Amino acid sequence: MRDKKIVIAIDGYSSTGKSSFAGKIARKLSYIYVDTGAMYRAVTLYCIENGFIGNCGLNVDKIIENLEKIDIKFVFNSNIKKNETFLNGENVESKIRNVEISNHVSEISTIPEVRTQMVALQREMGKNKGIVMDGRDIGTVVFPDAEIKIFMTAKPEIRAIRRYNELLQNGENVTLQEIEKNIRERDYIDTHRDTSPLKKADDAIVLDNSDISIDEQMQWFEKIFQSVIKKQ
């Protein structure tokens, strides 16, 4: 049954573990995994490094003007069994995970021209199916016909603790209050932007993982996957 390739779209709020969940699904099924959040983070890093984000806000004209100069690729690292994000040939996986990027990525994501370019890249990546893609608008905009759509959520305070622990492990000097504030602000921006706002697709299945482990999530997914594949 598993030779029937499908598209699996995973949307949801920040710090719900979408990337870990999607990556684990992809490895189990031998599918391609695309972390679209990393794509927007890479664009944000490019903008910061080139001075398009500063005290006066975003220089949207410069960002749009330079979009064609941004090349994003995912390269599988066999040592850690994960894809890593490359921006214009440089491995930026660690650079794009810090608080500064988190503070600006939702703003960058509201620029229609940025989203248009990223969506085109994402659709190209998934044209042959056999892909797991996570983000904010995968099931609603990028792949509205995806065979499996999952919408992930969790309590903001639980998401903040998860993100806080992750950043501490990476050596970031942050406070839990700062992280929770950032998460709530990102939730608001993501759900209220004019272009491709975060929302649950009508046919998406909700996964609230506030109180369940990644192994329990995988057991839940396996039942859904088997049900969908049998109908293909």
The pLDDT tens digits for 187-222 are: 998 899 888 889 999 999 999 999 999 999 999 999
Q: What is the pLDDT of residue 11?
A: 97
Q: What is the pLDDT of residue 113?
A: 96
What is the three-state SS of 159-172?
Answer: HHHHHHHHHHHCCC
User: Residue 13 pLDDT more than 90?
Assistant: yes
- How does pLDDT run across 126-159, given as a tens digit for each residue? 999 999 999 999 999 999 999 999 999 999 999 9
Q: What is the pLDDT of residue 86?
A: 95
User: Residue 106 pLDDT more than 90?
Assistant: no
Q: Please give the C-alpha separations between residue 34 and each of 48, 113, 232, in angstroms, as whole numbers.
A: 23, 20, 23
Q: How far apart are CA 149 and CA 1, in angstroms?
A: 19
Q: What is the CATH number of domain 7-226?
A: 3.40.50.300
Do the beta carbons of residue 24 and residue 149 sit within 8 Å?
A: no
Q: What is the pTM of this model?
A: 0.83
Average pLDDT, integer, range 89-112: 92
Average pLDDT, integer, range 92-107: 92
Query: What is the pLDDT confidence band of residue 1, given thresholds at 50, 70 and 90?
Result: very low
- How does pLDDT run across 35-92, given as a tens digit for each residue? 999 999 999 999 999 999 987 789 999 999 999 999 999 888 888 878 899 999 999 9
Average pLDDT, integer, range 23-39: 92
User: Residue 2 pLDDT more than 90?
Assistant: no
